[in-house]
Structure 1
Amino acid sequence: MKYNHQLKSGDMFALTAFLVVASQRSFRLAAVELNLTPSAVSHTIKNLEDRLSVRLFNRTTRSVSLTDAGNQLFLSLQPAMESVTNAVNQLDKFRNKPNGILRINASEGAVKMILKPILKKFLDANPDVHLDIVSNGRMINIVEENFDAGIRLSDDIPQEMVAIRLTPYERFIAVASPEYLEKFGMPVSPYDLYNYDCIKFRFESGEIFQWEFSINGAIKKFNVKGPLTLTDQNLMVEAAKDGIGIAFVPEHLIETYLNSGQVVIVLEDYSPIYNGLSLYYPGHRHVSNALHALIETIRSEV
């Protein structure tokens, strides 16, 4: 069989660079991931386009997008490259120590609760591993975004993923400062919240989080009102502590403030309980020694 386009020296790297740029939609971000300069990445892609005699990306000063040809190559190449990566990763069992880059996507709360306490222990024990942690509020596709694993609330994890439970449950609670409650009084029912200043949370998608309370065994959502909307749950707790209003946040974020008396829980009997945090990864992907080591480190501390 004769191949019209046989791979030559450097083509495998060029195709890898193409996949990274296609995933990131940015030459600058791809350069960071590939540990190259943006101009080097751009030059690599240009040479690949010249060799294939087809344009793969539409480029402007503000955006990078795939052409139809680029999109077809991306869809065809991604599973093949993943198979190659898995084949190489299978060699991990012959290595004595975990190594390489381990990319983890997690919510801000999960980073603070699960990852922060074990970072030094893990990195000290695994000096050949570079841990790349990205924290954001939106649920992403960790396969498409090239992450090895994610940490989220168990109920939010796609069913096709392998999930390892890290915490038994997670509770969201409403909190306010004693000074605020002394001035405006304690709400008795979630319905009373419409008469209070509530500190709202906005997801990265732009959607405003609706507060959820358990009423007569069912979860009811409340579209509360208030003078402040934030995208950072820690700032929400700080705002509640400062007397701006009532915040609705994961319980683990306010333990220090509760213990010091800076905030108090309101409507605790209505606080909903969810399944806890889980670490998850694609079932079809080889689990590297580095990820195994991270899982074992987390389990030893949680």
Structure 2
Amino acid sequence: MAEDVRIDEIYRTVSSLPPGELAAFLAVAEHGGFRGAARTLDQSASALSHSVAGLERRLKVKLLHRSTRNVSLTESGKYFAARLMPAISEVGKAIQDLQEMNQAPTSLLRINSDANAAEQVLMPLLTRFLQSQPDMRFEIVTDTALVDLAEGGFDCGFRLAEWVPDDMIAIPIGPEQQHIVVASPAYLGCAPSLNQPSDISQHRCAQLRMPSGAIYRWEFQRRGEAISIDTKGNLVVDYSRLLLAAAIEGYGLAYVTRWMAKSHLEDGTLTQVLVEWTPPYSGLSLYYPRHRHISAGMRAFLAFLRAA
């Protein structure tokens, strides 16, 4: 109840101050004088001076030092301007957001994503969203490495949940992920037995080079035991679909996502091995900076993703 009374007092105080006087004072404070403020507000300098003088009389506080040569803020004026600016800025944002809420989203959204993640989950969602919002535009830029969204001019990113930086807002999207070890039946028919991850050392493996230059280590887990394995082979690629292609052609073992290998497992082109050692893990997330202004288009897309 006390808070309601305080808010009512604030309303009465603000309503007693003509908006033109506040606008005149803030413009003078921002431009450091009446002439610059007059150009901004398209009023005469004398009219603005009269408005600020009226504000000072109502508040019973001197806000400006005036002389024939310049105008400067008093200590009270500096304090008042510093407190008003954020509030006025919030009012402006509220008006902008309200206007955007009542308009069909038409903005361009730039998304940075891993290529496989975009193909598996993001593209089907985007095509559905665009059916309901045909004026929206998207640009998808794929990178293996994690990039700085602000530096790259991106609205959001799409990556495995474990890769999302802590200072981002993340929305989980899609099913759990799973990396598995696969090979062709022809290769397995004449290769050494493969019962545990340590047996991989006896096998030829298609290897993936990461953006850092390192060869990706295969990760395994079973009943709380987690290990990473260095592989060996004479085929190194920088795109995971080439790993799949190598396995299909009978080169050796490949470490790929179940989603990527699904159809080949179903038709018998590939066989999964070390099944107990490759459990699923957290899926993909769309993420964006916590403190960035959200456009109408981005807001509509986020609402769609949460519903989907």
Q: Is TM more than 0.5 here?
A: yes
SS in 2 for 1:155: helix
SS in 2 for 1:111: helix
Distance 1:299 1:179, change over 3 A: farther
Deviation at 1:158?
0.9
Deviation at 1:216?
4.9
Whether contact under 8 Å (1:103, 1:133) holds in the other structure is: yes
Match among 274, 283, 287 for residue 290 of structure 2: 283
Find the counterpart in structure 1 of residue 24 from structure 2: none
Q: Distance in 2 between matches of 1:232 and 1:293?
A: 33
Distance 1:90 1:297, change over 3 A: closer
For residues 203-246 of structure 1, give each alpha carbon's deviation from its aligned partner in whole angstroms, at most 9, with x where no partner exists.
Answer: 22322211111155132111100121111111211111111111
Match among 213, 230, 242 for residue 237 of structure 2: 230
Distance 1:2 1:289, change over 3 A: closer
SS in 1 for 2:150: coil
Matched residue pairs, number? 222
In the alignment, structure 1 residue 249 sits paired with structure 2 residue 246:
no
| Letter aligned with residue 192 of structure 1 | D
Find the counterpart in structure 2 of residue 143 from structure 1: 150
Whether contact under 8 Å (1:142, 1:150) holds in the other structure is: yes
Distance 1:258 1:292, change over 3 A: farther
Sequence identity, in percent? 34
In the alignment, structure 1 residue 99 sits paired with structure 2 residue 106:
yes
Find the counterpart in structure 2 of residue 20 from structure 1: none
Whether contact under 8 Å (2:107, 2:296) holds in the other structure is: no
Match among 89, 111, 117 for residue 110 of structure 1: 117
Distance 1:242 1:257, change over 3 A: same
Whether contact under 8 Å (1:177, 1:243) holds in the other structure is: yes
For residues 139-160 of structure 1, give each alpha carbon's deviation from its aligned partner in whole angstroms, at most 9, with x where no partner exists.
Answer: 1121221111111111111111
| Letter aligned with residue 274 of structure 1 | Y
Distance 1:93 1:178, change over 3 A: same
Distance 1:125 1:197, change over 3 A: same
For residues 169-209 of structure 1, give each alpha carbon's deviation from its aligned partner in whole angstroms, at most 9, with x where no partner exists.
Answer: 21111111111111214411100101101111112232221
Whether contact under 8 Å (1:188, 1:267) holds in the other structure is: yes
Question: TM-score if structure 1 supplies the norm length?
Answer: 0.67
Structure of higher CA gyration radius? 2
In the alignment, structure 1 residue 195 sits paired with structure 2 residue 167:
no
Q: Distance in 2 between matches of 1:181 and 1:140?
A: 39
Q: Distance in 2 between matches of 1:214 and 1:224?
A: 16
Question: TM-score if structure 2 supplies the norm length?
Answer: 0.65
Gaps of 5+ in 2: 1-30, 37-88
| Letter aligned with residue 240 of structure 2 | Q
Match among 263, 286, 297 for residue 270 of structure 2: 263
Structure 1 window deviating more from structure 2 (292-301 vs 243-252): it is 292-301
Residue correspondence of structure 1 range 8-157 to structure 2 within 5 A: 90=97, 93-157=100-164
